[in-house]
Structure 1
Amino acid sequence: MKKAGNVQRSVGLVVVWCLLAGLVIGCSGGKAGAPASPAAPSATSSSSTSAEPSTPSASSPSESVPPETTPPAEEDPIELLLAKMTLEEKVGQVIVAGIEGTRIDDKMKKLIAEQHVGGLIWYKNNFSDLKGSVQLVNELKRANDGNPLPLFMSVDQEGGKVSRLPKDFTAMPDAVKVGRTGKPELAEEMGALLSNELRLMGFNMNFAPVLDVNSNPANPVIGTRAFGRDAESVATMGVAAMQGLQHGGTIAVVKHFPGHGDTSVDSHLELPSVGKTIAELEKLEWIPFRAAIQEGTDAVMIAHILFPKIDPDSPSSLSKTVITDLLRDRLGYAGVVITDDMTMGAIARNYGIEDASLQSFLAGSDLLLVAHGYDTARKVYDRLLEAVNSGALPESRLDESLRRIIALKLKYKLSDEAIPVPSASALPNAAIQQWLKRLEQ
């Protein structure tokens, strides 16, 4: 009977999601629907009220006056979904996990079905050919059937040296080449083309654009990934690229706050330290991020960098000072915050990944990126669940992040519907070639 009850509950959650996200097509079979352009969800809630029935008039005792009623107020879709989720599902939704290889396996199925992860990240070695990659996307989405929300299907597709998609797509250049044109319309078109590619492959989230200012020539990790060395130019071009992605229906994740451009250490390997003050960051690194926040960025990635003059005890990704006091309160950012990969050397070599993930969440992160190792993702899940059960992580704090996550998934009408393998003629390669010619003019 328990299994039947779980199935019935899962179907109910699927129906709720379909109705709230406006996914009419295919709702009877799962969290399905045709991808749509972003549409902001309702975020208002009020209780249903009704007036007391009117009493009959004394002069006309035989007349019955119908009760005056107030129509029930529309329920807040976010609260409606949140109320139906189990604690285990809530915990899983804050994790974006990595996958291994080019085929789905039992461990991955289990991570989705039992740990209820909210999203997946792909790297270049997860892509095979066009057909095989799309089939894997569909298999992963199918494995999510029964969970309350569709998956974030994410990737780093910046262009240039950070490109993950199969070779079927025409290669796009590093951001610096676009930045040198000084033409934001070309950056916006770049974002739109990237979004087109990703949507054809079944992806809905891109960890791009890079908003770091390439201010340190010795920087081993940013370099040509940045739009340039001038903060105002990076802001203009980066925001345009972000908007191109957004208008194409892809969640753009701007990165790497508070700024990775002045590091001399690769955070994939070690923990960088930057001796800048808040005032210095405001004059350079934060200019692009302020612009992106003002223009409605949906998601911000937090870097693994220690700023000892700001928080001497914790790197940015674990710091309440950086995430809550500065990004949210000082810069006024209200959207989703995601960490850089918690398995990177900056964290893994200096902190326990599970404890660091809990610290990051308590500091204000919403999504924890655990990009490598099924067992590692499961341990992070177990650590968070244990913390909620013990009271170390208040469920109200978990709900706070869930509201932002659900709002984002509703806004972009995310769906686990299977997608067809695109034909060669459907790829935007001709449009990319035309764009590349304009880039050279």
Structure 2
Amino acid sequence: DIAPISAIEAASANAEAIALMLAEVGINVDCLPLLDVVQPDTTEAITIRALGSEPMRVAALGRAILQGLQRGGVVGVVKHMPGHGRAKLDTHYHLPTVTASDAELEVDLEPFARLNDAPMGMTSHIVFEAWDAAHPATLSPVVVERIIRQRIGFDGLLMTDDIDMKALSGTAADKAAGAIAAG
């Protein structure tokens, strides 16, 4: 809020430092940045790691993080598509349902659309009633194809969030097969 340009530079330098440490031990991918837009009732599992509540700021800081990681030799993964900011529950333990309208969810999509050229992205384990009331994003062909691939315009490698999280039910094999079937 006080010095946005300095914040962008700091985010980039921090990401580069993280990448240099990771690269030194042979790790070349990091699941950063979170592009989730914080809402007043966002679960703390996200707010403690999020970049903010204003989509343009989230996108700017996210881009700086991706660039810093790249300078350090590491590829970043944008997450949690199509947005985790409206989830009131922690997906490590519960399956959240978001009841926001398609128009309201446009705010959540904005940072992902601005960074849709990222090489890797991660889905969220959240049900978005406006798009697919029956399946969480990770397991939804509608969300993966219509929202992530078409509307956001993301065409990079898409991976799931941890399929062992309690938000998804079934065996690991079932969840993996469901994610692959979803696209």
Give me the TM-score of the superposition, normalised by structure 1: 0.40
The DSSP-based 3-state class of the residue aligned with 1:311 is coil
Q: Contact 1:216 / 1:264 at 8 angstroms: preserved in 2?
A: no
The DSSP-based 3-state class of the residue aligned with 1:359 is helix
Cα gap change, 1:323 to 1:180, in 2 (>3 Å): farther
Shift of 1:353: 3.0
1:318 maps to 2:139: yes
Shift of 1:181: 4.2
Shift of 1:291: 1.2
1:337 maps to 2:154: no
Instruction: Give the share of equivalent positions with the same residue, in percent.
Output: 35
Q: Deviations over 1:288-311 (max 9, x none)?
A: 111111xx3011100100112210
Stretches of structure 2 that go unaligned for 5 or more consecutive residues are: none
**Rg comparison, structure with higher value:** 1
Aligned length: 181
Cα gap change, 1:180 to 1:205, in 2 (>3 Å): farther
1:249 maps to 2:85: no
Stretches of structure 1 that go unaligned for 5 or more consecutive residues are: 1-178, 365-441
Q: Which amino acid is the alignment partner of residue 182 of structure 1?
A: P
Distance (whole Å) between structure 1 residues aligned to residue 141 and residue 122 of structure 2: 14
Which residue is 1:182 aligned to?
4
The runs of at least 4 consecutive aligned structure 1 residues that moved more than 6 Å come to none
Shift of 1:180: 6.5
The DSSP-based 3-state class of the residue aligned with 2:138 is helix
The DSSP-based 3-state class of the residue aligned with 1:301 is strand
Q: Deviations over 1:223-271 (max 9, x none)?
A: 1311111111111111111111123221100111111112110000010
Which residue of 161, 179, 183 corresponds with 1:360?
179
Distance (whole Å) between structure 2 residues aligned to residue 334 and residue 360 of structure 1: 16
Distance (whole Å) between structure 1 residues aligned to residue 42 and residue 145 of structure 2: 30
Which residue is 1:90 aligned to?
none
Cα gap change, 1:255 to 1:218, in 2 (>3 Å): closer
Distance (whole Å) between structure 2 residues aligned to residue 301 and residue 358 of structure 1: 16
Cα gap change, 1:201 to 1:340, in 2 (>3 Å): same
Which residue is 1:196 aligned to?
20
Which residue is 2:170 aligned to?
351
Which residue of 60, 83, 93 corresponds with 1:236?
60
Cα gap change, 1:207 to 1:180, in 2 (>3 Å): farther
Cα gap change, 1:362 to 1:180, in 2 (>3 Å): farther
The DSSP-based 3-state class of the residue aligned with 1:221 is helix
1:308 maps to 2:129: yes
The DSSP-based 3-state class of the residue aligned with 2:97 is coil
Q: Contact 1:180 / 1:228 at 8 angstroms: preserved in 2?
A: no
1:74-85 paired onto structure 2 within 5 Å: none
1:417-432 paired onto structure 2 within 5 Å: none
Which residue is 1:419 aligned to?
none
Give me the TM-score of the superposition, normalised by structure 2: 0.92
1:379-418 paired onto structure 2 within 5 Å: none
1:59-208 paired onto structure 2 within 5 Å: 181-183=3-5, 184-208=8-32
